[in-house]
Amino acid sequence: MYQDDYKRWLAADLEDADLKPELARIEGNDEEIKDRFAVALKFGTAGLRGVLGAGTNRMNIYVVRQATQGLANWVKTQGGNQTVAISYDSRLKSDVFAKTAAGVLAANGIKVRIYDALMPVPALSFATRYYQCNAGIMVTASHNPAKYNGYKAYGPDGCQMTDDAAAIVYAEIQKTDVLDGAKYISFAEGVENGLIRFVGDDCKKALYDAIESRQVRPGLCKTAGLKLVYSPLNGSGLVPVTHVLNDMGITDVTIVPEQEYPNGYFTTCSYPNPEIYAALELGLKLAEEVGADLMLATDPDADRVGIAMKCPDGTYELVSGNEMGVLLLDYICAGRIEKGTMPKNPVAVKSIVSTPLADAVAAHYGVEMRNVLTGFKWIGDQIASLEAAGEVDRFIFGFEESYGYLAGPYVRDKDAIIGSMLICEMAAYYRSIGSSIKQRLEEIYAEYGRYLNKVDSFEFPGLTGMDKMSGIMQGLRDNPPAEFAGNKVVKVTDYKKSEETGLPAANVLIYGLEDGATVVVRPSGTEPKIKTYFTTLGKDLAEAQAEKDKLAEAMKPILA
């Protein structure tokens, strides 16, 4: 079967000049052909994600056309504006895929609003809402290595598409022949006939206004003298992040030169992920040279931001997503109470795998903390339910431990632009009162206890990887562990049992241990890996770390 598909692609008159040589190169190599044609990239709630190249199991213009035809078929049943917003980041072929998708939509009589240059995830979410679109498309593979690209689909609320809608789109995709089943006109023709239009300056300005209106202490940064090093990691953050920082009065910004401009090859770091040290290395070196108070980096689609803070001894320390989530929550709550801008019955939202320290901080300030499944769309879902009840102003902050933050309901996905703005404002504030982010973090630990949150990943590559992962998860359900490293399991929460959790079913297991530690086991939704999240609590960091190490050791044979 896959050999037949391969031969068909090989014989076809392909429009992308890169695909033909690749197909010719693998001729007679069964393994290589199988890898590209034995399966098709599956369209899930995160859309598509795969390695660039030829075949049904790769990202290329034909797979993008097929996916977009499936989306178009769904949009046509939705009434409304019959409009789709499109944005793209700096990855290889992102602009090509974005224009390809626009051509398919236009050929189906659907209007398109596309950014005239690369813009991040929050800008796409915002434009989808601003133009009251039926859907949105973001061409990105987030923080994956350079050989990947992807396609995220959004619903009319600017939130990533629901499971139900994604299932309908997937069914339509499967009815569409990958090489010639999609309707298509060129981007130029779509522009000429008025179906494809660029996102207007009014929309861009409205996004910046919405973000800047969420400052906790407006005007503070103009006089605080904050010194910043910033890296967009060769992605889409440069323009929006520097625009907002400049508006706030943060002008002493040094951009990491090698990572300043869009470059889909990500030559300075193989994995452009602000969660990992290697991605921040150049920025840290520069921060030391210029004596910056703070170094921050946004990922290629600028929905996540990682930072390093300056310590009293002049060294720099990375801040985890959990720590930054807690710091921002604490800063927003204290600042809004002080300024009299805290809404009545405020609500914050975080994912179930994020630190319980945030629940303690929220309780301290009288904020209701809602815990939702992993995936920012579930935070967006909480904002939507508040909006439906006419209480959207109650939402003050949402975060995930994987460096995603949002303060305000103007978009429905994580936003590194507002994350960068609030982190800088917070740093400027602590600097202005003779403190620092580092000092405030130590104060929080002194007040609530020394929480430690660590994530380990186990990879399961290859075609059998997914089967191995589901076997491990099934094994944990069939034979639940009674203890980890001698620490007794006192509570097991299986998120597949939605009647017990009150949340939609999800493949997540959480073990509560006798000493208050928790272990979370969850397969990734986008990559062939199982993640384990450990939360330990000690009198100091060493004690919390020792406990984590013991638990991680105990997990290894289970996930081997």
Active site residues: 142
Tell me how far apart the alpha carbons of residues 43 and 70 are, in angstroms, rounded to a whole number: 10
DSSP character at residue 47: B
Q: What is the dihedral of CA 165, 406, 86, 55, to 10 degrees?
A: -70
Select from 164, 167, 526, 532 the least CA-distant residue to 381.
Answer: 164
CA 450 to chain CA centroid, nearest Å: 27
Residues 6 or more apart from 18 whose CB is under 8 A from it? Answer: none
Token readout for 178 is: 């990958």
Tell me how far apart the alpha carbons of residues 12 and 235 are, in angstroms, rounded to a whole number: 34
Select from 36, 1, 45 the least CA-distant residue to 526.
Answer: 45
Cβ distance 75 to 128 under 8 Å? no
Which parts of 44-115 are beta strand (E)?
Answer: 48-51, 83-88, 111-114
Question: In this structure, how many other beta carbons lie within 10 angstroms of the beta carbon of residue 218?
Answer: 14
Tell me how far apart the alpha carbons of residues 382 and 406 are, in angstroms, rounded to a whole number: 12
Helix (H, G, I), strand (E, B) or coil at 403: coil
Backbone angles phi, psi at 126, to 5 degrees: -65, -45
List, in sequence order, the alpha helices (H) in 340-488.
357-364, 376-388, 416-432, 437-448, 465-478
Handedness of CA 292, 298, 299, 305 (dihedral sign): positive
